[in-house]
Amino acid sequence: MISVDQALAIVLSPIVPLGAETVAIESALGRVLAEDVLADIDLPPFDRARMDGYGVRASDVIKAPVRLRVIGEVAAGATFDGEVRAGCAVKIFTGAPVPHGADSVQKVEVTETDGENVIIKEPVKPGQFITPRASETAAGERIAERGQKIGPAEMSVLASFGYAQVETGKRPRVAVLSTGSELVEVSALPVGAQIRNSNSYTIASYAEQAGAVVDLLGTIEDTIQSTCRALLEASEDRDLVITSGGVSMGDYDLVKAALEEIGAEVYFDKVSIRPGKPTVFGRRGGTFFFGLPGNPVSTSVTFNVFARPAIRKMQGERSPLLPMVRAALARAIKDASNRRSYLPARLYVEDGRALAAPLKWGGSSDLVAFVRANSLIVVPEDVHEIPEGDLVEVMALNDL
């Protein structure tokens, strides 16, 4: 059986970014940059006042108090055309450009005015309360890089440097399907052996969060004909098809057989992971397929370990893997499995220290226990017991 790392390498190696498209800044949040962001102007674009007060020549105010003649004023958005000569001052407001001749600002709190003149009551140092032109960023500097996800800070940079439009990675088109003759719609009350289809919603929401454009295609009966038909239909114009269920060893586990039947190449159908061993990955033409196991916790774990990095890479994300954190174990773990385990956990900070608490769960079908999970504790193949307080690797399910 292949390891998680081998499986991930098999998943990521044939996947290439889908290419770029231009979007308006209004739609850029959450997308991935497909170009470097360069500063088109200096920031600040001029020597800028940091305080309300008076623009002065520091050489006039080596000692204080000093009386200076007020020759004008300049507010944010305005400019002062004249020059501040010796013995003069200009009233200035935060954010305004410092006038020619002035090299410092004194704050209004330590001044007094009689209209025509101002008395500066404390001495100033050259450059005081001025943010010099280009001191934050010089025009031409590279501010953000291709492959970076666009969050609020990147939005602010795009806006500052004139990116009304920006090149971003195309979002993968993903179809989501659930197999299982026992499944009924959310609006139905399950009777007898029926259960509600929750996995489609789990997968669709994780996929959307990862940046995909998702179509929910409903459920498939456990017959080879309907599975083949549904997979074929789903693959049309899609970059990725994700199914749940139908990948174990039972007579009604038909996803792998159906993939082969429709001419897909199946790259693997088992991985040394717990939960989630029977995960299937394949490809037909330009469409990739994940057959995730049907037990809801297995579905969530295998989506995050395998499918999420795939979706991120399709958008050109530079680091498609989920962030790993080291945290101290809040409670001892026993884990008999020889596969690599991903245990639902709560990652939190206490007294400045990252802690990971494994959650009590009733096995891979216990989706309600998973609600409290924000991370997965990774227990290596050959480790079967970890005492409280030991450092463990934790996969964060949310962006850090």
The answer to whether 231 contacts ligand AMP (rule: CB under 6 A) is no
Q: Could you tell me which residues come within 8 angstroms of residue 85 by beta carbon, excluding any fewer than 6 positions away?
A: 101
Give the interface segment with ligand AMP, choosing from 79-87, 135-143, 166-174, 243-251 (CB under 6 A).
243-251
- Which residue do the tokens 């002065």 mark? 56
CA 146 to chain centre: 14
Closest to 276 measured CA to CA, from 303, 249, 315:
303
Closest to 315 measured CA to CA, from 163, 153, 176, 207:
207
Q: If contact means CB under 5 to 8 A according to the sort of partner, which of ligand AMP, Mg ion, none does residue 282 touch?
A: none
Closest to 282 measured CA to CA, from 265, 305, 299:
265
- Angstrom distance (rounded) from CA 329 to CA 224: 45
The answer to whether 282 contacts Mg ion (rule: CB under 5 A) is no
The answer to whether 198 contacts ligand AMP (rule: CB under 6 A) is yes
- Which residue do the tokens 């026993």 mark? 334
Residue 134 DSSP symbol: T
Per-residue contact flags (x/-) with ligand AMP for residues 341 to 380, judged by CB under 6 A:
------------------------x---------------
Which listed residue (147, 246, 282, 320) binds ligand AMP by CB under 6 A? 246
Q: If contact means CB under 5 to 8 A according to the sort of partner, which of ligand AMP, Mg ion, none does residue 244 touch?
A: ligand AMP
Length of the chain: 400
The answer to whether 182 contacts ligand AMP (rule: CB under 6 A) is yes
Cβ distance to ligand AMP smaller for residue 22 or 205: 205
The answer to whether 315 contacts ligand AMP (rule: CB under 6 A) is no
The answer to whether 295 contacts ligand AMP (rule: CB under 6 A) is yes
Q: If contact means CB under 5 to 8 A according to the sort of partner, which of Mg ion, ligand AMP, none does residue 279 touch?
A: none
Contact, 217 vs 236, CB < 8 A? Answer: no
Which listed residue (37, 183, 241, 314) binds ligand AMP by CB under 6 A? 183
Q: Could you tell me which residues come within 8 angstroms of residue 163 by beta carbon, excluding any fewer than 6 positions away?
A: 25, 37
The answer to whether 291 contacts ligand AMP (rule: CB under 6 A) is no
The tokens of 63 are what?
A: 């000692």
Cβ distance to Mg ion smaller for residue 168 or 197: 197
Give contact residues for ligand AMP (rule: CB under 6 A).
Answer: 178, 180, 182-183, 195, 197-200, 244-248, 293-296, 365
Give contact residues for Mg ion (rule: CB under 5 A).
Answer: 180, 245-246, 294
